[in-house]
A and B are shown apart, each in its own frame.
Chain A
Amino acid sequence: MDYLIQQVINGLTLGSIYGLIAIGYTMVFGIIGMVNFAHGDVFMLSAFVALIIFLALSQLFGTINLALALLLVLVAGMALTALWAWTIERVAYRPLRGSFRLAPMISAIGMSIFLSNFVQWAQGPNNKPLEMVPTEIITIALGAGSITLSWKQITIMVTTAVLLMALWYLVQKTPLGRAQRACEQDRKMASILGVDVDRTISLTFVIGAALAAVAGLLWMVNYSQVNFADGYVPGVKAFTAAVLGGIGSLQGAVLGGILIGLIETLWSAYFSLAYKDVAALLILIVVLVFMPSGLFGRPDVEKV
């Protein structure tokens, strides 16, 4: 029993990170119907940004309060990553918006390759470690065994829950959210009614990237290492999570992420680790066969 609970905690932690990245995929798809393949690499970039800012801070001020340092890294990292995403949207996607459907997608694939190669060139191909992370664990006795829960894991799960709620409020209750939902339904009509479509889309990219930056920092805290290729696997998993949850739906993305994390971890726990990805993708296929638009997705309505 303690083993099962331990693995569920592991799965929830991993799933939370997938979920945070998946929100970026799902928001962009929801609003302009495009899969932003560069999003995984934006996430990787943000982990590097977090690492660099953290190292710079500790160089400048020596050993500072860890919580304060992390908060500073978080704010600065979100801002810088958001700036990157804004630039990418402005340079690589907006000029192609009126073009045929595949053009921005190809552009996104190109951007993904550009970002990982840029980081490889600028930061070197080696793994970059981060030495600072607290490793204190809480051990909870349970029956015959015990469960270990680290502060890192708690931070990750709580952060994801808080951010999801904040984002839900943003989309449902604020003017920006209203504009986003309007653009999602009908971009032309929204612009006729006075919504600044370009600005709304830019802000969507910025929000997605800011969340990826949170995921990047949490990644650095949890795994203490990153290299230029690390955007790929989490990117693919997060995209899978977005599709599983119903692409376009916020809560769907996070739920999808958590489901993928749980399936992977529980499969690893009781069967061979080698086939965990097969298990996760098999569940995806089964879900899509019975619910083609994912768990929370709304079916496409043909507009006449």
Chain B
Amino acid sequence: MRFIKLISVIILAGLVASCGGGEQKLKFGVAGPMTGSDAAFGGQLKNGVEQAVADINAAGGILGQQIELISGDDVADPKQGVSVANQFIGEGVSFVVGHFNSGVTEPASDRYFESGLVMITPGSTNPKITERGYWNVFRTCGRDDQQGKVAGEYIAKTLAGKKVAVVHDKTTYGKGLADETKKTINSLGINEVLYEGVSKGERDYSALVSKIKQSGAEIVYWGGVHTEGGGLLRQLRDQGVTAQFIGGDGIVTQEFASLAGAGVEGTLMTFGPDPQKRPEAAAVVQKFLAKNYKPEAYTLYSYASVQVIAQAAEAIKSLDPQKVAEEIHSGKVYKTVIGDLSFDKKGDITRLDYIMYTWKKQQDGSFGYVEN
């Protein structure tokens, strides 16, 4: 009898306690490589999301609730990505913006899927991310099969008749992008003269450079991020190889130019139309510039990710991740700083988003990228 009393007291106490904690906070997470070699991109994600959260909170929050932002550092490492995901889940985060590297986003999104968190990645472009049919995964950027097609067709048409070498960094993103481009040029009747992968963290590319030289390649297509890409480009130019260098959205940072040196001049690169130039973004860009931060590349894509979640939640008057995800999937148009976005059943954006840029010396002497 006393035992039953004890049990009922415990249950009652539990009920009271759970009532007390009923006021749940609305938590957002931003995850990316905040430190490590890809820190330039992590900074873009963090700055974009922080600004968006600050702006939304200043305007009264989502459905009257203020957002609490938690930041997670995955160091561009899949294992760290999963532990950041676990940390977010443990802290009761409902919406995540991130991660950046496709190889990290993939395993982390598995954890979010299992635990019912909505994740929008502003920068993971590997097709697999949204091809797995997860209800909770979205992205505000394009896909590498679109990007590879744009790059491949440019190589086959504009640069017709030149020998192509394809090099990647053996990551999910880098190899994925290189393979999509290779597939496109192969289908247009061009066979690459060289296909190689370099290890992340390697610095000596002299053997590869000599191999590229020997192969007679006039175009080097790079699938990977700026750290290895910049070093490879510098060593190519050091050994007197003048082949046209072409990269993807993994080199969209000023750091690429500082790593590659003067040889960056004329490098081609695929990326979305520069969001900083959109009229919708003007006010937000001013805010960033006032803080002395140039909202490069994925900064505004990250800002837009938060806007999509906020607008979807406001539209259905609910903060339940599952319902918000259903709403985003519905194909409705959201007004964001990177233009009007709508999402398909997979969670990809419906507009095609890649154009070609060229790295050029600018008037102040530094290097920048301009649309072709």
Residues of A within 8 A of B (CB): 3, 6-7, 10-11, 13-14, 120, 124-127, 129, 131, 135, 137, 139, 148, 150, 152, 219, 223-225, 227, 229-230, 232-234, 264-265, 268-269, 272-274, 276-277
Contact = CB atoms under 8 A, between A and B. Distances in A.
Chain B interface size, under 10 / 10 to 19 / 20 to 34 / 35 or more? 20 to 34
B196 interface: yes
B239 A224 contact: no
A225 B203 contact: yes
Contacts of B214: 3
A135 B238 contact: yes
B203 A11 contact: no
Contact of A225 (B36, B170, B259): B259
B359 to A, nearest CB: 15
B287 interface: no
Contact of A126 (B39, B199, B211, B239): B39
Contact of B208 (A6, A125, A126, A268): A268
The 9 closest A-B pairs by CB, nearest first: A268-B207, A10-B206, A125-B35, A125-B39, A265-B207, A273-B196, A129-B258, A274-B197, A223-B203
B238 A137 contact: yes
26 contacts: A120-B35, A124-B39, A126-B255, A127-B255, A129-B258, A135-B237, A137-B239, A150-B238, A152-B238, A219-B203, A223-B234, A224-B234, A225-B234, A229-B37, A229-B201, A230-B201, A232-B201, A233-B201, A233-B203, A269-B210, A272-B196, A272-B197, A273-B196, A273-B198, A273-B211, A274-B196
B227 interface: yes
Contact of B230 (A14, A225, A268, A274): A225
Given A233-B203, A273-B198, 19 more contacts: A6-B210, A7-B210, A10-B206, A125-B39, A127-B255, A129-B230, A137-B239, A152-B238, A219-B203, A223-B204, A225-B230, A230-B201, A233-B201, A234-B203, A264-B207, A265-B206, A269-B211, A273-B196, A273-B207
A229 B227 CA distance: 12
Contacts of A126: 37, 39-40, 255
Q: Which of B204, B237, B240, B255 has the most CB of A within 10 A?
A: B204
Contacts of B255: 126-127
A268 B261 CA distance: 25
B202 interface: yes
Given A135-B237, A223-B231, A273-B198, A129 B207 contact: no
Nearest to A277: B199
Contacts of A124: 39
A168 to B, nearest CB: 27
A233 B200 CA distance: 10
Contact of A11 (B36, B202, B207, B235): B207
A274 B174 CA distance: 14
A148 B259 CA distance: 22
B30 to A, nearest CB: 17
A126 B206 CA distance: 23
Given A223-B204, A268-B207, A125 B37 contact: yes
B353 to A, nearest CB: 27
A266 to B, nearest CB: 8
B36 A13 contact: no
Given A127-B227, A150-B239, A7 B234 contact: no
Interface in B193-248: 196-199, 201-204, 206-208, 210-211, 214, 227, 230-231, 234-235, 237-240
A219 B203 CA distance: 9
Contacts of B203: 219, 223, 225, 230, 233-234
Interface of B: 35-37, 39-40, 170, 196-199, 201-204, 206-208, 210-211, 214, 227, 230-231, 234-235, 237-240, 255, 258-259, 261
A150 B240 CA distance: 10
B207 A7 contact: yes
B122 to A, nearest CB: 20
A135 to B, nearest CB: 5
B209 to A, nearest CB: 8
Contacts of B39: 124-126
A185 B350 CA distance: 73
Contact of B202 (A129, A137, A224, A233): A233
A163 B196 CA distance: 36
Nearest to A227: B37
Contacts of B240: 137, 139, 148
A16 B312 CA distance: 60
Contacts of A131: 258, 261
A3 B196 CA distance: 18
A269 B196 CA distance: 11
Contacts of A127: 37, 227, 230, 255, 259
A227 B198 CA distance: 18
A3 B230 CA distance: 24
Contacts of A227: 37, 227
Contacts of A273: 196-198, 207-208, 211
A14 B204 contact: yes
A227 to B, nearest CB: 6
Contacts of A129: 230, 258-259, 261
A291 B173 CA distance: 42
A286 to B, nearest CB: 22
Contacts of B204: 14, 223
Nearest to A261: B204
B214 to A, nearest CB: 5
A18 B185 CA distance: 39
Nearest to B194: A273
A274 B39 CA distance: 25
A150 B204 CA distance: 15
A219 B231 CA distance: 13
A272 B195 CA distance: 9
B210 A225 contact: no
Nearest to A270: B211
A287 to B, nearest CB: 22
A95 to B, nearest CB: 31
A10 B210 contact: yes
